[in-house]
Structure 1
């Protein structure tokens, strides 16, 4: 283990921690609190500063809406360095939104179930952490019930996302097919992200027009889920998002059993879990591609593209041994060449692959962490070690960037780290890689 690298990772987290009890992903580029970032950040803090780990989780959960919804960004501070900010999103349009914490009206993958379980795994004082979990676990459960009650429109155990930002994989080439069905207006606005990062590494202006248009539609209906499901041009069942829900369900069941006396809740979670797992395997698995794919509810068909999200079901109970073997085979065949680091965010053999542009090809440490956990759980220890070692090597060689070039020989730049520098979840999950078995 590199003590120097570990010290640098801790410094990134400590420097990004804010007085309000939350951690920004990266200075300048991302000045607020992001939902799934905070989960991974808490995991890193848990190894050396339990108080900050708890505060990180508590702060994001405090912004939960009355219907169980947890927003993807909470605007704790006033700043004009990020667009679109709270004035564009207008979360107050929803009658059950938080009156104390302005936010977006979108969410992100539900990671907090398994994050709470990992906090318990890491904690030296198990009783103290269990008391913390007992205090907050119902909020996470309510978030899961929000999804099943409001986002599972066909009652098949699969929840929808209505915006690409909800997926976490913001500008994936998968969404290109959906953009072709839309013709949003040309918005006039000042981009903030491209003042911090090379525009070649970020979504285009026209992509942002699509993003803002979908938000405007949601605002038109006051962020009402039923109306959004009826009117949003973007309505997708995402394998990563649903996997995070399934994995978090499993963690909640184990934690509730540990706490005791929660038979009704665990029974309900098991019922939803079985439905979700069945839905993933019958609707989202593509036999020809040997991977899980996204389903476009608007067009009523699968989106037949392989990305890193396609393999995340490994980090869950979803794939049986046969499907797990198919996933591993597909990953190695398309993503696993000796000239590449694992795991690119989009199929490197596809014409839409871009090794430098956000979610169109680069490696992301948070997805690698999930793949590592999943491969290890399914017994693919050698491949799990490769992903872990690739992740550590990318950070060691390039720094704590937001995302990384998957090519081992990069002809386009001296440094293969892109996006935000001193990025919090890169640091947090590197800490977990270095300090966990």
Structure 2
């Protein structure tokens, strides 16, 4: 690649669609778009093998269900929990995380990402606590043993004892590998002293056994099923026990199915109910050693270990984030829950992405889509209800936290993302792999478009890792692994940067624009820019090649600067680093930036494009077609010819030069940015900085009849975190605005912490966004412990270097 100023022109997108071997007849199978990047896979590095890989083998890697356990392998033995709750006087079944369940609270309060987690679920008066533990002892199979403690209690003073008299929990095993057999430990039913529920064998872990232990009087029923639809296990259980609205039936042994791939165990008992379920691997003939291992992860010994693990988590949390004297004890609770559920929400997925073709390629190959190569993904997720899958734009923010908690897990996740790169340097913006992930996404969002990008936020965490290594903040072992990782990843990071430069460049040198906006829409008030991550944030009213998107320009500067830092760390700066330095100099040229994006009158930075403010949505009559009568629909009406100009919408995009530190500390333009941020008539509230100023003509406006405002006023934590980072930076830089930046920083930090903490204790959740009008009330997806978890770094006053 070349980062020199002469190379920053308009790229050619045609190469995206050429067949690898030219125009061959089998080109639809070998398009560049679904050809892997030609470099060794990062996840094949020695540091991701051996002990590290085995330590992460089992985990709570199914974030879309309230409790789901699986291995990091394409075809896994899976486990999970289903239960019967009560809502509006009727029995209801719980399994997949759904907003419609109206669960009062759920989420991992503690999770270390490796061998321990504690989750609390409050379901209409029932409190269900699930604690997960992994151990590795002599004799264990690959990945070790694990245990699950389930504790269910009810509020007897406020609940109908007739409905809540007996608790019904359903624990299941599901085998994705067709050749493996699940066997019932039938002696459990005949011999009260036996704890064996099921047993089997897998090539990876050898023989295994599933046991249950409890001091309560449990009634256990079971059934075996065969199904390929693991994402519909709740429906399978519901059908087996009959209608659960007025009563709960019992599972019956199914003797007709000789080779079930799903075993379900119904555990019924009077409240409160507590049961320990243990999974031991590497078993053979019954032995005292296996019995001892079961004993070690059940009962009193499990209690002691769980207490010790929680203590270890708390001690590490306190050591890393050092919140003492910085925030209240209530805030510490929220920060701990934010971290715990972010890490507890890390998932493992396997499958093939769906890639959309351009019209030319559709005509040539007779297909609308092609599959990406089969791939595995280990990733944090933004939210377990609506967004339990990988998002490229979100992941960089996730890793700002995770890299501070567990560097190896951070590198593992980033490595999985970079291994999803195709030959052109493109990475899908969303990853929907496997049937369970597909079951939680609308069909229209599944296909990925290889002409479209997403902000390269992975560089956020990489910068921290580079700085920490350069300053000897890590152990020698950690520094060596970071350096080895970056050495292997550098060719992919370069290709990613070059993909942006080749495909997203604008007409003017140093300009960029997000491709993928709909130039023909007559229904959206302002055509969305999903690729930017800001969805409905107002851009030029008429998309086109003349656009200059300020945020993408700053992201490119950010990426070039990080690549330059990596070359210095790796010692090859003389070879390629000077090219990145040239790019950094060009994109940080303050006069050039101002010429292209600054409005001299307001002192604000804006996008540039073909734009008019005279746009509105109006009702129009539709024609009757066949049996469909005429009706009305909202259609976009343009009332004046658009002109090439700055796009006068003040908001998060406007603040990117400030957030990335381009503005000199002594410049009056910096003072203008502080004015805009701290102005209550524009961006400032008592709950955080708005995404779009109140003065904008599109502030809080619907984009279509049914598309409520998203980035048009609501308060988002990721951008507030970046604003705080910049305020913190400028508060330490000599200049006339140093003290003012500090004052605004302190007030904004307190506002954000107070609002997130208040919402958590009022609602039980951390939220996707916060309402700028309704007293800062949480809105959108919940729990959203993706980038909203950055509230913990805000509490700790830990920010990436600008």
TM range (shorter): 0.7 to 0.9
Separation in 2, partners of 1:84, 1:289: 43
Query: Quick one: structure 1 residues 246 and 335, their matched pair in 2 at CA, closer, same or farther if it must change by over 3 Å?
Result: farther
Separation in 1, partners of 2:750, 2:434: 37
Aligned 8 A contact 2:651 2:683 in 1: no
Quote the residue 1:8 is aligned against: 337
Alignment of 1:164-203 (within 5 A): 164-172=529-537, 174-175=538-539, 178=541, 181=542
Aligned 8 A contact 1:170 1:359 in 2: yes
Moved more, 125-134 or 288-297: 125-134
Separation in 1, partners of 2:690, 2:684: 13
Quote the residue 1:116 is aligned against: 462
Aligned 8 A contact 2:395 2:457 in 1: no
Separation in 1, partners of 2:594, 2:683: 27
Separation in 2, partners of 1:382, 1:134: 41
Quote the residue 1:375 is aligned against: 727
Say whether residues 1:50 and 2:407 are aligned partners.
yes
Say whether residues 1:240 and 2:551 are aligned partners.
yes
* Offset, 1:402: 0.8
Quote the residue 1:416 is aligned against: 777
Separation in 2, partners of 1:364, 1:31: 19
Say whether residues 1:82 and 2:441 are aligned partners.
yes
* Offset, 1:292: 1.2
Quote the residue 2:490 is aligned against: 137
Separation in 1, partners of 2:576, 2:723: 28
* Offset, 1:86: 6.5
3-state DSSP of counterpart to 1:300? strand
Relative contact order (C-alpha < 8 Å, sep 6+): which is higher?
1
3-state DSSP of counterpart to 2:463? helix
Greater helix proportion:
1
Alignment of 1:2-401 (within 5 A): 2-20=331-349, 21-78=378-435, 79-85=438-444, 88-89=447-448, 91=449, 105-121=451-467, 124-125=474-475, 126-162=479-515, 163=517, 164-172=529-537, 174-175=538-539, 178=541, 181=542, 233=544, 236-278=547-589, 279-296=592-609, 300-321=644-665, 322=667, 323-334=669-680, 340-354=686-700, 357-379=709-731, 380-399=741-760, 400-401=766-767
3-state DSSP of counterpart to 2:679? helix
Calculate the TM-score normalised by the size of structure 1: 0.76
Greater strand proportion:
2
Query: Quick one: structure 1 residues 431 and 87, their matched pair in 2 at CA, closer, same or farther if it must change by over 3 Å?
Result: closer
Query: Quick one: structure 1 residues 285 and 44, their matched pair in 2 at CA, closer, same or farther if it must change by over 3 Å?
Result: same
What is the aligned residue count?
Answer: 365
Aligned 8 A contact 2:683 2:689 in 1: no
3-state DSSP of counterpart to 1:19? strand
Separation in 2, partners of 1:285, 1:367: 20
Separation in 2, partners of 1:342, 1:235: 33
3-state DSSP of counterpart to 1:65? coil
CA RMSD of aligned residues (A): 2.7
Q: Which runs of 5+ in 2 are unaligned?
A: 1-322, 324-330, 350-377, 518-528, 612-642, 702-707, 732-740, 761-765
